[in-house]
Chain A
Amino acid sequence: QAVLTQEPSLTVSPGGTVTLTCGSNTGAVTSGHYPYWFQQKPGQAPRTLIYDTTFKHSWTPARFSGSLIGDKAALTLSGAQPEDEADYYCMFVYGGLVVFGGGTKLTVL
């Protein structure tokens, strides 16, 4: 089964830009893995930010964007806000099966 690797923790300054990545031990990530990105704050359910690599949910702030960078999926936050401090998870689909990354704890400081 695939293992997805995310940065365990990242720190960004308010107003700054940060890129979270998600790689796979099976090789290059492609749009065929339908990459998703989720945000989760303490005590809350996850919330989808990005689906199918680049598509935004209706509630996704414009400052979030999804892409493929090199052989990884990426979530870029441009103009970080204090309310963006949260855990972020990536998710891929492999032949109908779903795998989550271990999550990145993002601190806005």
Chain B
Amino acid sequence: EVQVVESGGGLVQPGGSLRLSCAVSGTSATTYWVDWVRQAPGKGLVWVSRIHSDGRFAKYADSVKGRFTISRDNAKNPVYLQMDSLRAEDTAVYYCSILPPGDWGQGTLVTVSS
């Protein structure tokens, strides 16, 4: 059974930083993408970033480019999302997902507020 577990969320002041982790286990897929998707309170799903399972080919949404960095050392290590220069509009539940076929974690809440 595939397990996806996010961690690292919390309360941070505007301009601050936070690092989220996504641990993946149990997948038999040899290649896949690890995506970060966020959902602000009462809003829809918004894609943030993705990285290939081998740790290469990172992609970012325009809204976070230059502020967020996704990384992974190798397929056995967690995927990290380093979030810098955080803004109030970054407040959301951040989900990690494995695509394909689409296994999701339960999410971690990030609140940016003074």
Contact = CB atoms under 8 A, between A and B. Distances in A.
For the complex, would chain A's binding face be called helix, strand, loop or mixed by DSSP majority?
strand
Interface residues of A, number: 25
A45 B45 CA distance: 10
Given A45-B107, A46-B45, A96-B57, A57 B95 contact: no
Given A1-B62, A96-B57, A97-B59, A46 B104 contact: yes
Given A1-B62, A96-B59, A48 B101 contact: yes
Interface size class of B (residues with CB under 8 A): 20 to 34
A89 B101 CA distance: 15
Interface string A68-82: 000000000000000
Contacts of A102: 44
8 nearest interchain CB pairs? Answer: A48-B102, A98-B47, A103-B44, A100-B45, A51-B100, A51-B101, A45-B104, A45-B106
B78 interface: no
A38 B47 contact: no
